[in-house]
Amino acid sequence: MAQAAETRKRGKSSSPGLPASAPGRSGTREKRSNARATDTTRGKAATVDRDTLLRAYRSMLLIRRFEEKAGQLYGMGLIGGFCHLYIGQEAVVVGMQMALSDGDEVITSYRDHGHMLATGMEPRGVMAELTGRSGGYSRGKGGSMHMFSRQENFFGGHGIVGAQVSLGTGLAFSNLYRGNDRVALTYFGEGASNQGQVFESFNIAALMKLPVVYIIENNKYGMGTSVERASASRDLSRNGLPWGIAGHQVDGMDVLAVKHAAEQAVAACRAGKGPYLLEAKTYRYRGHSMSDPARYRTREEVQMMRTQHDCIENARHRLEALDVEEQLFKTIDDEVKAVIQDATDFAQNSPEPDEAELYTDVLLEG
Ligand SMILES: Cc1ncc(C[n+]2csc(CCOP(=O)(O)OP(=O)(O)O)c2C)c(N)n1
Ligand SMILES: [Mg+2]
């Protein structure tokens, strides 16, 4: 397994989801070993070394703790507007990110904090954007759904369901046009998967062999409608077949399975074979957004997913089987907590945007 692909690194980040200010691999004294975990979810065994799995574990934990804190700040009235938490789905973005190389691009919907952190965006800047402060990625004007980072090649954060699918296809077109070998990861929910613009994008992407990986994050529900009620297609990974787009389903609660599938998809794209479609079967534990009575599912269902399929617990069990000791988990936990606390302090102390910000980054007519 190519170490270069596993150690994807952009800018200051030392590991996926862990900014320079956070403890990366070098921040923790890990006992090096050749131990490897096995992913047999797709028939063919894929192994991964202990350090790689530890980095995935940390990245997922960072996203989980970030989101829990965002939920708390929202409850305290410190975050306004919309806020869609990613809790439960962390393995998808962390596994995908591990297959990327410098320059590859990411675009997603409004459920985007996890994607930002995974690309290496700073927790401080993301949290401060949530609290509407000038230290935020959009200087406090964008909020949860509108953040971008040219440095980390993160193209948003889009509140219009499905809009990012056309945009992500455009990113891939621009890469083809420029003749580089970048791949554009384009995430969307199962609720967006039957939109017309999605199929139009599939058509043009297949026609032009665009280097785009479409990832359907199938968390089973849209705002409150289950996929069974909304989609005639039962296997969404086959939705690109009329255009000849290769597709696979993957267990989105298993970071190794996602990483393995992502590597195949990204390699195919980079080799010029055109678009690829992955359906990651996942689950969100929290409501659709912060105000969601969740009458469309039972508590037992949520509880079952949390206790039996949690991606972080899953990775932890694998690490325990590789003899990772309790103390290391505790160290990682403490490090992640410190990063989140730092981001939270920053997000509360960063000043409100100046009035002059009303006139920056906007198109003024006349
Ligand atoms: C074009 C459009 N139609 C409707 C909405 C309202 N809306 C926001 S999220 C959502 C559900 C989308 O579900 P899914 O794609 O499964 O993503 P998830 O929230 O599960 O991540 C809807 C209908 C919207 N934002 N944009
Ligand atoms: Mg959904």
Full set of structural domains in the chain with CATH: 54-286+295-350 (3.40.50.970)
pLDDT in tens, 148-206: 999 999 999 999 999 999 999 999 999 999 999 999 999 999 999 999 999 999 999 99
Separation of 61 CA from ligand 1 center, angstroms? 26
Q: Bridge-partner residues for 46, per DSSP?
A: 39
Give, using CA atoms, the residue closest to atom 20 of ligand 1. Answer: 222
pLDDT in tens, 256-297: 999 999 999 999 999 999 999 999 999 999 999 998 988 999
Q: Is the pTM of this model over 0.85?
A: yes
- Confidence band, pLDDT 50/70/90 cuts, at residue 353: very high
Separation of 213 CA from ligand 2 center, angstroms? 18
Looking at the CA of residue 159, tell me the nearest atom of ligand 1.
Answer: 25
Give the count of alpha carbons within 13 A of 365, CB side only.
0
User: What is the CB < 6 Å shell around ligand 1?
Assistant: 109, 111, 159-161, 189-192, 219, 221-223, 288
Separation of 277 CA from ligand 1 center, angstroms? 20
Distances (CA, A) of 24 to 7, 17, 228, 341: 11, 9, 41, 17
Separation of 2 CA from ligand 1 center, angstroms? 36
Give, using CA atoms, the residue closest to atom 10 of ligand 1. Answer: 223
